[in-house]
Amino acid sequence: MFESLSDKLKRTLKNLRGEGVLRPEHVDAALREIRLALLEADVNYKVAKDFIARVREKALGQEVWQELKPAEQVVKIVYDELVELLGGTSSRLVFTRQAPNVVMVVGLQGSGKTTSTGKIALWLAKNEERKPLLVSTDVYRPAAREQLKVIAKATGQAIFDLPESNDPVLLAREAVRHARDYGYDTLLIDTAGRLHIDDQLMEELVQIKTETRPVEILFVADAMTGQDAVRSAEEFHRRVGITGVILTKMDGDARGGAALSIKQVTGQPVKFVGVGEKYDALEPFYPDRIAQRILGMGDVLSLIEEVQAKVDRAEAEAQLKKIQQNEFTLDDFRQQLRQVKRLGSISKIMKLLPDQLLGSIGLPNLTEEQSAAIERELKRTEAIIDSMTPEERADHRILNASRRRRIARGSGTTVAEVNQLIKQYVEMRQMMRELSRAGFFGGGLRGRL
Ligand code: GDP
């Protein structure tokens, strides 16, 4: 997301940094380019214009303007305004103590509404220790109710239905009652969608709202539809009143215009983004982190959170122990590869790191091709280890020539590649043992003194 905008902003600000003395005309030239970049990212025209006006006012309003001015200040102003544009502080779902809390999910057909309803339930259960109940009030398309059932099953979440009822308001009311009776603290209502906004749908949504008094009404919009998404959000807000937006399909949206315009246009923040078809592909929306990412400051916070969530601590500690005792087998090696893989693609991980950090630790900014090559290498390594027997994985010393030939055949690689991997593994083991002896993995030195 935001790739092209990010490239252009980074280039413009870099040029600005290159100026010895920063004059108003330099800033104006930079602002013209930033404005163009925003428009090319499909940011709403007026939003882009206001953005530039605010940056200009702040930048030129600084004291002793004709003096040597660090361009960094302009970068900081652009950053601050970008955070504002994206919604300021991050917006969480707001719950009250009264159960059940109702969350209505509304939007046009095909926007990803039903999928997102299921994703939110899963997210709340996993991250907020809530006990959600799902219900679909889309009585017009039987497939929609069926789809939510499939999602509920796949994500292990509870769902309520009255198959014989075709009354959306009744369904909502009964679901609230069911949630209250059975101790569900959150009711997620997946409402009907239409291809276009129509009066009947709006009326129905208002009725459900009146009946269930939701704490949140989330509008689901397909980010790839850009300004159309912004216009529908505006209309839904005017007629039903929304409390936040979920932007779906951000994984396919390189421009980011909707994300950059929705808060300014509707006054309501983006609360979540959908980043894939899988049910866990939902992320809270953090304006500051995204602004940092756009300006190439990286997004170390997100990366750290991801690592914490996905790397199993107990597993990591067990491996550490094995390293200390020199029992690190090929099985453990494979386990480590899998942990790395769980973090996602190499290019995704690299994108989250700040450009400066990559430079300072000597890592190149990998091209898509290079990171794809690394991933292929990781896959090949895993395939080779997969082709070994448990005995071989437990003790590499039994890997004689005929076993190596068999492994190469089984993994679709060559004997040279198998040899190479075993050599790497032996060297790694050696290095780990030395590091461990030197006390690198904690407790080592002290234990021996
Ligand atoms: P609804 O008609 O609004 O309920 O839309 P659905 O929930 O049925 O979603 C429509 C399509 O969009 C489905 O194929 C979903 O898998 C897909 N989809 C939903 N959210 C995302 C997302 O964040 N990323 C991607 N790539 N696809 C998504």
Contact 245, 93 (CB under 8 A): no
Q: What DSSP character marks residue 94?
A: P
Tokens read off for 339: 């942990």
Kindly report the protein residue whose alpha carbon is nearest to atom 6 of ligand 1: 112
Asked whether residue 335 falls in the same domain as residue 245, the answer is no
The reported pLDDT for the residue numbered 102 is 97
Q: Give the CATH number for residue 34.
A: 1.20.120.140
What ipTM was reported for this prediction?
A: 0.98
Q: Which strand (E) or helix (H) includes residue 418?
A: helix 415-437
**Exposure letters 162-183 (e unless 16+ CB within 10 A, then b):** eeeeeebeebbebbbebbeeee
Q: 144 in a domain, yes or no?
A: yes
The answer to whether residues 144 and 228 belong to one domain is yes
| DSSP-assigned states of every residue in 234-271 | HHHHHHT--SEEEEE-GGG-SS-HHHHHHHHHHS--EE
- The answer to whether 237 and 209 are in contact (CB under 8 A) is no
335 and 405 share a domain?
yes
Residue 315 CA to residue 331 CA, distance in Å, equals: 13
Pocket flag, ligand 1, residue 436 (CB < 6 Å): no
Q: Is the CB of 121 under 6 A from ligand 1?
A: no
Known binding residues for GTP: 107-114, 190-194, 248-251
Please tell me whether residues 113 and 200 are part of one structural domain. Answer: yes
Residue 67 pLDDT > 60, yes or no? Answer: no
Q: Are 208 and 199 in contact (CB under 8 A)?
A: no
| Mean pLDDT of all residues belonging to the chain | 84
User: Based on the domain organization, do 236 and 369 belong to the same domain?
Assistant: no
Q: Which pLDDT belongs to residue 353?
A: 63
Same domain for 262 and 132: yes
pLDDT in tens, 414-431: 999 999 999 988 887 887
295, part of any domain: no
Is any ligand 1 atom within 6 A of the Cβ of residue 275? yes
Q: Are residues 443 and 392 in the same domain?
A: yes
> Is 323's C-beta closer than 6 angstroms to any atom of ligand 1?
no
CB 277 near ligand 1, within 6 Å: yes
Ligand 1 atom at minimal distance to the Cα of residue 248: 23
Ligand 1 atom 12: residue of nearest CA: 112
Assess whether 276 and 315 both reside in one domain: no
231-281 residue pLDDT tens: 999 999 999 999 999 999 988 877 888 989 999 999 999 999 999 999 999
- Of the candidates 147, 41, 116, the one whose C-alpha atom is nearest the C-alpha of residue 276 is 116
Q: Domain residues for 279?
A: 101-286
Query: Separation of 237 CA from ligand 1 center, angstroms?
Result: 22
293 falls within a domain: no
Q: Cα–chain-centroid distance for residue 101?
A: 25
> Which residue, 85, 113, 141, sits at the end of a domain?
85
pLDDT of residue 64: 44
- Assess whether 236 and 183 both reside in one domain: yes
Quick one: pLDDT at residue 267?
A: 92
Annotated binding site: 107-114, 190-194, 248-251
Among 276, 250, 33, which Cα is nearest to 258's?
Answer: 250
Is 66 a member of any domain?
yes
Indicate which residue's Cα is closest to atom 26 of ligand 1. 276
Residue among 40, 57, 56 nearest 260 (CA): 40
Q: Same domain, yes or no, for 316 and 248?
A: no
CATH at 406:
1.10.260.30
Tokens of 83: 């955070």
Whether the CB-CB separation of 280 and 122 falls below 8 Å is answered with yes
For ligand 1, whether the C-beta of 111 sits within 6 Å is yes
Query: For helices 199-212 and 227-239, what crossing angle results, to 10°?
Result: 60
Number of domains forming the structure of the chain:
3
- Give residue-wise pLDDT tens across range 121-173: 999 999 999 999 999 999 998 899 999 999 999 999 999 999 999 999 999 99
Give the atom of ligand 1 at the shortest distance from the alpha carbon of 274: 23
